[in-house]
Amino acid sequence: MDKANNKRIVLVTGATGGLGTAMCKKLLQDGFRVVGNYITHEKAEKWTKKMNDEGFHIDLFHGDVSTFEGAGQMIKNIVEKTGPIDTLVNNAGITRDGRLVNMKPEDWYTVINTNLNSVYNCTKQVIDGMIERKFGRIINISSVNGQRGQFGQTNYSAAKAGMHGFTKSLAMEVAKYGVTVNTISPGYIGTDMVMAVPEKVLNQIVAQVPMGRLGGTHEVAHLVSFLASEETSFITGANYSINGGQHVY
């Protein structure tokens, strides 16, 4: 809790990406104290300038969440400068798409470290405080491709499916301390990551979405802010699909 302003503090990892940016804006608009994490200095400088120009003032903290030490140093800096973290949004993620026959070990390990091990690295270092303060929200940003699989994404789908396994188990462990743990599984959203998919392939994918379009980053951000709110205190271990009907089950 930000004592001076009586606001809950939310950390969004991978804040400078398409989804992260939308989440930061929405959370700020909804009255949270928002801090973001980034890895590339150049991108962070441009992001901060653009956000300030638009009237969104958000402190960014550097840290490589794919390592335990990187995540730990970042979280220490945030706690010292801003205060203890009430809500952690594990959003940082990358793709290294390719069929398994072509997948180099580096493509596998980089995706698992960045998308899945980061969830342990960050959560492990905020969970004790949440338990002590009897309040916490862990929100893991997974993917429809963790739920159903995707040609060319063995690494990414494995990491994203793993995130929800983590959610379910941790939800059970910390429920009695007022800490909730949930997963959000977005479908294809209009981010740079999705726009990097070859046009022909992407058109085929969108054709399979009953809504016939990509999702908006603001649509995912709205769900994040909902799950971060006080009133969602009985929702835990859930996996929220937000995919325009692409995968229903």
Enumerate binding residues for ligand CAA (CB under 6 A): 95, 97-99, 102, 143-145, 150-153, 156, 188, 193-194, 197-198, 201, 205
- Name the residue nearer to ligand CAA (CB basis): 112 or 205: 205
- Name the residue nearer to ligand CAA (CB basis): 118 or 125: 118
Encoding tokens for residue 7?
């606001």
- Name the residue nearer to ligand CAA (CB basis): 48 or 246: 246
Look up 109 and say whether it is catalytic.
no
Q: Which of these is catalytic: 109, 156, 177, 188? A: 156
Edge-to-edge strand list for the sheet holding 87-90: 59-62, 33-38, 9-12, 87-90, 136-141, 179-186, 239-242
Instruction: Name the residue with the smallest CB distance to ligand CAA.
Output: 152
Encoding tokens for residue 149?
């699989």
**Least distance to ligand CAA, CB of residue 216, Å:** 14
- Name the residue nearer to ligand CAA (CB basis): 11 or 184: 184
**Least distance to ligand CAA, CB of residue 3, Å:** 37
**Least distance to ligand CAA, CB of residue 219, Å:** 14
Nearest to 236 by CA among 134, 130, 137: 137
> What is the C-alpha to C-alpha distance for residues 163 and 206, in angstroms, rounded to an integer?
25
**Least distance to ligand CAA, CB of residue 85, Å:** 25
Cα separations in angstroms, 160 against 27, 35, 73:
23, 24, 25
> What is the C-alpha to C-alpha distance for residues 22 and 55, in angstroms, rounded to an integer?
14
- Return the ∠ at Cα 66 (arms to 62 and 72), rounded to 5°: 55
Q: Which residues are catalytic?
A: 156
